[in-house]
Structure 1
Amino acid sequence: MQWSTFSSVNLVMHLLVPLIFFFLSQLQNFCRLYYARIGIGTPSKDYYVQVDTGSDIMWVNCIQCKECPTKSSLGMDLTLYDIKETDTGILVPCNDKFCYDVNGASLSGCTANISCPYLEIYGDGSSTAGYFVKDVVQYDGVSGDLQTTSTNRSIIFGCGARQSGNLGASNEEALDGILGFGKSNSSMISQLAATGSVKKIFAHCLDGANGGGIFAIGHVVQPQVNMTSLIPNEPHYNVNMTAVQVGRDFLNLPTDISETGDRKGAIIDSGTTLAYLPEMVYEPLVSKIISQQTHLNVRTVRDGYTCFQYSRSLDEGFPNVTFHFENSVVLKVYPHDYLFPFEGLWCIGWQNSGMQSRDRKNMTLLGDLVLSNKLVLYDLERQAMGWTEYSCSSSIEVQDERTGTVHIVGSHFISSASTLNAQLTFIILLLSVLSCSLWSLKC
């Protein structure tokens, strides 16, 4: 999981016009780090980036970087972006409106020949710093049932020149960068919407069972999703949580649970692996889970994970955890979702946010542990979001808002179309998932 002032994402991108889909991939391990492959520059080169709805910028490692990873144990070749090797790349000057918006003010000493800098610090202390560039990003758009065609758009993104912590050269399970799909004007979804290419609506379906999934920009009409309002004036995708249920029992929590902790509501974040809860929620929740089996030999392993031995069916032996939100929206998490294997033990994926975050702040942060195997829809046009349980290896239906035509998109059955239909409004990303060790899970 990653908390940041800006954020990054790993994804495979395919674009058409107003609806976009990315197909996700995942390697087999609990570390559900979803990433995608995107093309950048002219001629286009492939980059592998993490898909992150909890951050606002896209960045990739740059040729000038001395502390960037140059190889990965994940099976892909890493690529350093070099603006000199692309015909369409330009530097973003510090007097550009984008730079002003990102920093909230004019930069001291700025002149037209100085590039716009960025600095991103994450919840685990890792950081990325560099400067902004603008270049074309390649996508596949939906051109028919189970068909795509390729196009591109110019996007401003970070050129990472200095990385630290889990983003640095010592990270064996490295990617090329992060793709931010947050709410701010600097995010990719906002940049695309500003050009009229898409509306600010997207969805993802993260396949926790088989790996992979879909990330779609545009109007998903099937499956249908129950929606709850986003909390106004919050930088992330925050929603009002009203209750927490363990099995049949509701936790005894304050009436206004959304005010519990240091930040309003629950944050929904695809760039976070686990789920982080305020202490007053975490303690009784974990206690009720463990109490289901009276003879568990519970132990704490490195980094504070609560683990135990158990050889029977997880779903029969432990309770479901259900989060309740406004407008009767519920999010159910099963034992096979919140328990993960490690060295012959089962470990609990719920974490105490006050103990794990860099700033020691209590918050409710729900990551891939609870989001997998669900179609999650973000509608910034209506300031709402929602989800429904869904098989993410199956197909979804998307609608062209210009023509009303509905097309079928499947995560594993996309073929390439030979011509671009300018009337279609869908973009798709095929997602992948990384495997990583217990100790590399980031908060």
Structure 2
Amino acid sequence: MGLCLRNCLCIVLIATAAVGGVSSNHGVFSVKYRYAGRERSLSLLKEHDARRQHRILAGVDLPLGGTSRPDGVGLYYAKIGIGTPPKDYYVQVDTGSDIMWVNCIQCKECPRRSSLGIELTLYDIKDSSTGKFVTCDQEFCHGVYGGPLTDCMANTSCPYLEIYGDGSSTTGYFVQDVVQYDKVSGDLQTTSTNGSLIFGCGARQSGNLDSTNEEALDGIIGFGKSNSSMISQLASSGGVRKMFAHCLDGINGGGIFAIGHVVQPEVNKTPLVPNQ
């Protein structure tokens, strides 16, 4: 699969300082624009910008590295593979939150269909030979909550709760499984690779994440700075450098989302203004 880097807006972000000694491997996701092909209007852009501003301000007071608004702000989504054998999941790309999660088989109030022309899939740990539960006595669970959970026994699943800026929420428990994604293999081509990651298994959704959302996705993939995010987990295992870049095609919609390595094509650049 080729990587088109022309006529794209490229933004490079470093999550934290690069982890010393990690390999030069890097991954890339092909992303799609949720509203591609729709007629643009000034009112739609103004509404989107207002929600974006709310997201920035709402991230000040909320824990776990910030928040996002699934309605209107999460415009881009990507396809990843989870499990052995892998199944396809479409997840919203969110740089404002940390936890990656997908809807699970026993989920209540989860969407079953989407108007985006994609087939939704519920994750079932029993269908994957590499899937396993994450329990409350594991280091990952302690890291998420800043220590052991007093009301959670060692042999029970580690719970999670993520609340977004618009009041939508997802709750469930953590699992670990193989996640497949693409990596750049040379000459602007990609090959499939994978890594074992811990993510949320969504058991109950509310607000704009529940079954009433017509433009539903399978979940959200967070690229925040917390150790629970996908990019932090891959970096800690030596799989990638702790940085990412996204190149978004504003004309046709879509683009690429690269992790661990930043390709700098010949494009015009505009620096971001700090502390704004």
TM-score band w.r.t. shorter chain: 0.7 to 0.9
The partner residue of 2:30 within 20, 23, 34 is: 23
User: Which residue identity is paired with 1:144?
Assistant: G
How far apart, CA to CA, are the structure 1 residues paired with 2:24 and 2:125?
26
CA separation in 1, counterparts of 2:32 and 2:191?
20
Q: How does 1:298-377 map to 2 (within 5 A)?
A: none
> Which residue of 186, 196, 207 maps to 2:249?
207
SS at match of 1:142: strand
Structure 1 residues 400-415: aligned runs within 5 Å? none
Kept after mapping to 1: 8 A contact 2:24/2:241 = no
Question: Which structure 2 residues correspond to residues 38-187 of structure 1 after superposition, within 5 A?
Answer: 38-187=80-229
| Alignment partner of 1:221 is 2:264 | yes
- What TM-score, normalized by structure 2, do the two folds share? 0.74
Residues in 1 aligned to 2:193 and 2:159: alpha-carbon distance in whole angstroms: 29
Gaps of 5+ in 1: 1-15, 229-238, 241-264, 267-443
Aligned runs of 1:422-433 on 2, under 5 Å?
none
Distance in 2 between the 1:123 and 1:150 partners?
34
State whether structure 2 residue 202 is matched by structure 1 residue 195: no
Which secondary structure does the structure 2 equivalent of 1:221 belong to?
A: coil
Q: Which has the higher strand share?
A: 1
Answer yes or no: is the 8 Å Cα contact 2:132–2:175 preserved in 1: yes
Deviation at 1:118, TM superposition (A): 0.4
CA shift, 1:110, in A, is 2.6
Give the CA deviation at 1:222. 2.6
Distance 1:193 1:221 in 2: 21
Q: Give, in angstroms, the shift of residue 17 of structure 1.
A: 6.4
**Aligned partner of residue 210 in structure 1, secondary structure:** coil
Which of these two proteins has the greater Rg computed from alpha carbons? 1
Q: Retained in 1: the 8 A contact 2:84–2:178? A: yes
Q: Is this contact kept in 1: 2:169–2:209, CA < 8 A?
A: yes
Supply the RMSD in Å over aligned alpha carbons.
1.8
Indicate how the Cα distance of structure 1 residues 226 and 74 shifts in structure 2: closer, same or farther if over 3 A, else same: closer
Q: Report the secondary structure of 1:222's partner residue.
A: coil
Is the contact between residue 119 and residue 129 of structure 1 (CA under 8 Å) also seen in structure 2? yes
Which letter does structure 2 place at the counterpart of 1:221?
Answer: Q
1:88-130 CA-partner distances (Å, limit 9, x unpaired): 0000001111111111221013322111100011111110000
Structure with bigger RCO (C-alpha 8 Å, 6+ apart): 2
Structure 1 pair 226/18, CA: closer, same or farther in 2 (3 Å)?
Answer: farther
Amino acid at match of 2:208: N
Structure 2 alignment gaps of length 5 or more? 1-22, 41-71
Name the amino acid aligned to 1:90: K
Contact 2:180/2:194 (8 A) holds in 1: yes
**Residue correspondences, number:** 217
SS of structure 2 residue aligned to 1:174: coil
* Structure 1 residue 221: Cα displacement: 3.1
Corresponding letter in the other structure for 1:159? C
CA contact (8 A) 1:17 1:141 kept: no
- Please report the TM-score for the alignment, with normalisation by the length of structure 1: 0.47
Q: Which amino acid aligns with 2:218?
A: D
Query: Residues 134 and 154 of structure 1 are in contact (CA less than 8 Å); yes or no, is this contact kept in structure 2?
Result: yes
Question: Deviation string for 1:263-304 (max 9, x for gaps)?
Answer: xx34xxxxxxxxxxxxxxxxxxxxxxxxxxxxxxxxxxxxxx
Letter aligned with residue 51 of structure 1: V
Report how far residue 141 of structure 1 moved.
1.3
Secondary structure in 2 matching 1:95 = coil
Q: For each residue in 1:374-393, what CA deviation from the matched residue of structure 2 results, as whole angstroms up to 9, or x when unmatched?
A: xxxxxxxxxxxxxxxxxxxx
Query: Residue 219 of structure 1 aligns to which amino acid in structure 2?
Result: V
Please identify, of 103-112 and 196-205, the stretch whose mean Cα deviation from structure 2 is larger.
103-112
Q: In 2, Cα distance between the equivalents of 1:173 and 1:194?
A: 34
Contact preservation (8 Å) 1:35, 1:49:
yes
SS in 2 for 1:62: strand
| In 2: Cα distance, 1:21 partner to 1:151 partner | 10
Aligned counterparts of 1:150 and 1:128: Cα–Cα separation in 2: 29
Q: State the distance in 2 between where 1:17 and 1:178 align.
A: 26
